[in-house]
Amino acid sequence: MSPDVHAFFDTATNTVSYVVRDPAGVSCAVIDSVLDFDYASGRTATKSADEIAEFITKNDLRTEWIIETHVHADHLSAAPYLQERLGGKIGIGDQITAIQDTFGKVFNEGTAFQRDGSQFDQLFQDGDSVMIGQMRVDVLHTPGHTPACLTYVIGDAAFVGDTLFMPDFGTARCDFPGGSAQDLYASIQRILALPDETRIFVGHDYKAPGREDFAWETTVGAQKAKNVHLAGNTPEGFVEMREARDATLAMPKLIVPSLQINMRAGNMPEPDDQGDVFLRVPINKL
Ligand SMILES: [Fe+2]
């Protein structure tokens, strides 16, 4: 089974969102949508999400799922906006509770902020299967970049979020709270155990040096043969390389707003008594 996959690339955050469609019907899922956010002005916009919504509407598709591979730290999710326009259930990994616990503390959220994942319609566990029309989605828990990361395997396609990037770029960082280069290595081995011809769709692309175009689709076979962080490397060598590289990376520009919104399934914090919405900037905490 080979789902139809349509990619949407957001140049502001280098994020790839996907619409995955059952080729035998009209059912589809949206994976990792983006709500545009201009940090300087605090303004949101829906240009990226509207492109997805228009694609779905134009093709008369039925949105069954709006799913996240993880709580993103570099862009805001448009899941609630898309759900309002298109329907569908919002899902994420059940380890979201660990993320909510960690960042509930970082942002000093009060007791009104639930840490039980109840902001989402569905929490997926490793080994779960869900359907998009006639297509089965197999859920793999692939922690490392964050403790709650999932890979969705749909027929011959694997949506790996931020685990593997394109072979010439490597792998995702593991230095956010709860991240682990050892865990990422083990998770990647699970992905690479899929058949070589499995199509891999990555969550971001930053163009490797020497490459002219953005790219987001590769295969398990290509990752095994050519991934610059993995091919010819030992597990220990990978962990050492990953941790050394992570120590040089700046925080993503949108980490502060992204976490506060994405840990709420893409919803804004509750408005104040005037009806205005604010985000917090924790000082010396991230
Ligand atoms: Fe990420």
How does pLDDT run across 122-147, given as a tens digit for each residue? Answer: 999 999 999 999 999 999 999 999 99
Q: What is the mean pLDDT of residues 45-66?
A: 98
Q: Ligand 1 centroid vs 139 CA: distance in angstroms?
A: 17
- Looking at every residue in the chain, the average pLDDT score rounds to 97
Q: Can you tell me the distance from the alpha carbon of 222 to that of 124, in angstroms, rounded to the nearest whole number?
A: 28
Q: With a cut of 90, say whether residue 264 has pLDDT above it.
A: yes
Q: Ligand 1 centroid vs 172 CA: distance in angstroms?
A: 8
Q: What are phi and psi of 186, to 5 degrees?
A: -65, -40
- Partners of residue 16 on adjacent β-strands: 9
Residue 155 lies in a domain: yes
How does pLDDT run across 228-260, given as a tens digit for each residue? Answer: 999 999 999 999 999 999 999 999 999 999 999
**Residue 46 CB-half CA count within 13 A:** 14
Q: Ligand 1 centroid vs 25 CA: distance in angstroms?
A: 31
Name the nearest CA neighbour of 79 among 261, 286, 210: 261
Residue 286 lies in a domain: no
Q: Ligand 1 centroid vs 7 CA: distance in angstroms?
A: 17
Q: What is the CATH number of the domain that holds 27?
A: 3.60.15.10
Q: Ligand 1 centroid vs 205 CA: distance in angstroms?
A: 12
Number of domains the chain contains: 1
Residue 272 lies in a domain: no
The pLDDT-based confidence of 115 (bands split at 50, 70, 90) is: very high
Q: Ligand 1 centroid vs 74 CA: distance in angstroms?
A: 7
Q: With a cut of 90, say whether residue 54 has pLDDT above it.
A: yes
Q: Ligand 1 centroid vs 63 CA: distance in angstroms?
A: 23
Q: Can you tell me the distance from the alpha carbon of 236 to that of 34, in angstroms, rounded to the nearest whole number?
A: 35
Q: Ligand 1 centroid vs 45 CA: distance in angstroms?
A: 21
Q: Ligand 1 centroid vs 191 CA: distance in angstroms?
A: 17
Q: Ligand 1 centroid vs 275 CA: distance in angstroms?
A: 31
Q: Ligand 1 centroid vs 35 CA: distance in angstroms?
A: 15
Residue 268 lies in a domain: no
Residue 271 lies in a domain: no
For residues 239 and 181, the answer to whether their CB atoms sit within 8 Å is: yes
pLDDT score at 286: 86
pLDDT score at 263: 98
Residue 228 lies in a domain: yes
Pairing of β 199-202 and β 217-219: antiparallel
For residues 35 and 83, the answer to whether their CB atoms sit within 8 Å is: no
Q: Ligand 1 centroid vs 178 CA: distance in angstroms?
A: 13
Q: With a cut of 90, say whether residue 59 has pLDDT above it.
A: yes
Residue 273 lies in a domain: no
Residue 283 lies in a domain: no
Q: For residue 57, what are the domain limits?
A: 4-259
Q: With a cut of 90, say whether residue 217 has pLDDT above it.
A: yes
